[in-house]
Amino acid sequence: MSTDLLNTLVTGAIWRAEQLEEQGVGSVPLAWAEVSSLEEKLATALPASQPEGRIARRGAVRAALRAGNFSRAQALTERFLAEKEATQTLRAALRQLLEEDASALAGRFHHATKTVNEARSLARWLQEGGAFGLAA
Amino acid sequence: METIAFYSYKGGVGRSLLLANTARFLAALGKGVVALDFDFEAPGLHYKLGHTARRESRLEGGAVPYLVATARDATSPPPLEEHMAEVPVPPDSGGWLRLMPAGQAPDRAYWALLKQLGEQVRFDDPSGRGLMPLLDLHGRIREELKPDYLLIDTRTGVTELGGLATTILADTVVCMFVANQESLEGTLMVAEALKAAPRLKGQRPIRVVPVLTRTTSEPPTENPFADGLKRLLALAQQGDKKKPKLLELPHDAAYGALGWIVADEPTDDALSPLDKAHLGLFRELFPLPAHAPRKR
């Protein structure tokens, strides 16, 4: 698939996701997941040294977060951070996206603001080991 | 605030009753107490604390509706007072007791809400969105209500919420079991897991308090059960200088769910063996100044 076609598709997908979000339609996460998937394809096609490549990488992570898929956002971030061509600005921007997501979560839960990162690592512990960590 | 979770690997050990009596005991001693029912699949703490499904004593709200509302709204969680009820304590005690029931069980509306909770909240969501409401609820109780004790009734067996309430929220876990091998071995497995579980920053290691319940005679001293008991007590002692002793609660078939109420001065004759055992257990758990708990 050409980058031109991908760009057209991702523009349409973003518009659709935003419209669905505005209308409060339940399939919004799916729409953002589609955006993230298209942005990831663009990121694969365009190196991180190019401005369009950097935009696609940020877009893939941001859309994954808006889709509510934190695991994917985290995995994409780790992958993009490991790229040799990734600039310091891109690295900082990617980290900031995850930090903003943590801040938004902390903002809702005023009595647990300091525990977002711990909550995330505990959730991973629970996901891997099940109740009481017994399945690990 | 000390958080004490009451846990049992198997059901029918008198867990909710012990929690309710502990709550009343502490409130009667002038302590501020919150009792939280996290036994969502079989809630009953509200019955033990005087609120049944009858219209005149029914409660609004509870932990399940609170968590559903929290998951549904993008804003901050709802006010705590909408989901809690006062439980009367002796007026001159200076203490207080608030109950957060699981919800209006056994009404059908409660089960519909519990279904919603299962669909909307995944505690293992790696974003932390499932766990934050629980951690926030714990923090809110500590900071808004400022109780001396938070007592949590947890689900029997091995469940996610039971695991979280014991491993992450609790400072002390009272592990109740009966005198048979299946109950003991399950309890041992969970107690080992509790000791190995991760803790939040600033939390001290979990204190495990084993309680053998429904005893009808002295526990055996030489057989696999006795060996298991030794292992459980050794686990309970980990990180604790004081050698733990086995706490026991006798079987009492006639014991009423609301039978033990702290009020008035009791005579020794007025206390059943289980009453006395409960009092002995409270004194072991809470090294408070000398006090004569009372019975109506």
Express each pLDDT in A17-56 by its tens digit.
999 999 988 899 999 999 999 999 999 999 999 999 999 9
Both structure tokens of B205 = 């290691």
pLDDT tens, A122-133?
999 999 999 999
Q: How far is CA B7 from CA A10, B15, B37, B173, B193, in A?
A: 51, 7, 12, 7, 13
pLDDT value at residue B274: 79
Chain A residues lying within 8 Å of B75, measured CB to CB: 108
pLDDT value at residue B161: 93
Chain B residues lying within 8 Å of A120, measured CB to CB: 126-128
Q: What are phi and psi of B216, to 5 degrees?
A: -120, -15
Task: Write out the H or E segment, with its range, that includes residue B133.
Answer: helix B132-140
Chain B residues lying within 8 Å of A119, measured CB to CB: 128, 131-132, 135
pLDDT tens, B42-63?
999 998 887 665 555 556 799 9
pLDDT tens, B120-156?
899 998 888 899 999 999 999 999 999 999 999 999 9
**CB-based contact, A100 to chain B, within 8 Å:** no
Distance (Å, whole) CA A37 – CA B102: 40
Chain B residues lying within 8 Å of A102, measured CB to CB: 128
pLDDT tens, B191-217?
999 999 999 998 989 999 999 988 877
pLDDT value at residue B289: 58
Question: In this model, does residue B258 exceed pLDDT 80?
Answer: no
Please tell me which residue of chain A has the smallest CA distance to B125. Answer: A123
Both structure tokens of B226 = 């006795």
Distance (Å, whole) CA B81 – CA B84: 5
Name the residue type at position A14: I
Chain A residues lying within 8 Å of B193, measured CB to CB: 132-134
Closest CA to B120 of B62, B60, B67: B67
**CB-based contact, A39 to chain B, within 8 Å:** no
Q: How far is CA A57 from CA A5, A38, A50, B43, B286, in A?
A: 17, 10, 11, 48, 56
Find the mean pLDDT for residues B153-176: 94
pLDDT value at residue B285: 80
Is residue B171 a contact partner of residue B6, using CB atoms and an 8 Å limit? no
Q: Flag if A121 and B198 touch (Cβ within 8 Å).
A: yes
Distance (Å, whole) CA B183 – CA B200: 29
Q: Where are the beta strands (DSSP E) in chain B?
A: 2-8, 32-37, 85-87, 96-100, 149-153, 172-178, 207-215, 247-250
Least Cα separation, residue B202 to chain A (angstroms): 11
Least Cα separation, residue A1 to chain B (angstroms): 32
Provide the number of CB pairs (under 8 Å) joining chain A to chain B. Answer: 111
Chain A residues lying within 8 Å of B9, measured CB to CB: none
Least Cα separation, residue B20 to chain A (angstroms): 25
Find the mean pLDDT for residues B58-76: 84
pLDDT value at residue B57: 53
Asked which of A35-49, A105-119, B109-123, B152-166 is least confident by mean pLDDT, the reply is A105-119
Q: Flag if B124 and A119 touch (Cβ within 8 Å).
A: no
**CB-based contact, A68 to chain B, within 8 Å:** yes
Find the mean pLDDT for residues A98-121: 90
Spacing of C-alpha B118 from chain mean position = 22
Distance (Å, whole) CA B103 – CA B37: 9
